[in-house]
Structure formats: C-alpha cells, structure tokens
A and B are shown apart, each in its own frame.
Chain A
C-alpha cells in the first residue's frame, strides 16, 4: 500500500535560520508531489509542488528537492520567520492511484524568536 512519512514529527529553529523538513514516500510510480502548510485552526495551504521529471524547484523563500532514487522529498525554508510556524505536510500522487493524493502525518515547525 501507499505510505508517506515524515522523518521528524517536530522541528524547532531560530528565527532567521534555514529550516529543512523531510518526507519519505514508498510508491516509485509517484509523479507529482505537493507541500502544504497548515496553521492552527485553518485548512492546508498550498506552498510548492514538483513533478517527477524535476529534482529541484524554487519558490519565494522555499525550495523543494526530490530524490527519486531514495524516494525522498524535502522542503527548505530560507530565513525562517515566526509566521512560518505551522504543520507542514507532504502529499504524493500517481496515475496508478487514480490521481488520489496520499498525505504524510506532518511535521510541526516552531520558530523561536
């Protein structure tokens, strides 16, 4: 079956430092990945996505890296700010799952001022 997991359930970083959140997936056929941010009391918010034909994609202060060899995904947040404190999920999908998404359990990021 599908499994999407995160290496660390919690992460604390100092304001201004870079954050790295990791995610492992098991389906080698997965071809599309998304990172979501969920703040307390709110729904998941799209941050950045990447397709399997890429290994890196950059957004504003965020970078997603995809290593298909070891089925690993990471989210890097540059110059972490207090507003980045939230739970971060990875999600993956593949044509073989009818394009249904499978979500990780989440990593809780706390930014220390």
Chain B
C-alpha cells in the first residue's frame, strides 16, 4: 500500500550493530504497528502504538525498541542486532474506529 512506506527496503548488517527501520504513513491513522514475518510462521507483533504518547509491547518485543516521533512516523530499532533477528519486518496502520490494518511493503533484514 503506497500510503504506508518503509525504509530501507533491504538491509544487511552485522551482529552487534544498532539499526533503525522507519515507517511513515499518509493515511491519517492514529494506530501503528511493527510485525516480523518468518518462514512458516504467521506475522508476530513486536510493538504497537495507539497514539503519539502510547507505546505497547507486543508478543516478541525483547531485543527491540520503538519510537513514535509523530502520528505519521513509527520507527523500530534493534539495539544490538543478532542473527535470529533476520526476518521480514512489516509496519501497519489502522484507524481507532475500524480495526482493519494496512501494511507497508516490508523491510528485509539480514543479520550476519
């Protein structure tokens, strides 16, 4: 969905490095989410935010942190990347009145 953009689209990094994945949306939604996708597994929630001052841990938040810089921006950080964080990462947004989530194109991360 072009209304939700993620940068970078691909990233290769080394173990121990700090990296940031960014998400921006023009949908005007107040809620934003970060998921990771691994082969054979469903999308798993890392963190979510219902508004700029609200941050909540999801199912698998260990090793990750987030920042909601503005309503339209939600970034995900890996403080010290490790190989098992190699995955496809998706940002999603939704409106508080309707639960439907809309996804960005994803960031493919490889940690060596």
Contact = CB atoms under 8 A, between A and B. Distances in A.
B77 to A, nearest CB: 20
Contact of A101 (B1, B45, B56, B105): B45
Interface residues of A, number: 23
Contacts of A45: 1, 103
Contact of A100 (B1, B41, B58, B100): B58
A106 B4 CA distance: 22
B105 A100 contact: no
Contacts of B45: 100-101
Interface string B28-45: 000000000000111111
A103 B100 CA distance: 13
A50 B56 CA distance: 26
A84 B44 CA distance: 24
B1 A105 contact: no
Contacts of A34: 100-101
Interface residues of B, number: 21
B48 interface: yes
B40 A105 contact: yes
A93 B103 contact: no
Contact of B99 (A41, A93, A102, A106): A93
Interface string A29-47: 0001010100001111110
A100 B48 contact: yes
Contacts of B42: 4, 89, 102-106
B103 A44 contact: yes
B102 interface: yes
Interface string B49-93: 000000010110000000000000000000000000000001000
A88 B8 CA distance: 25
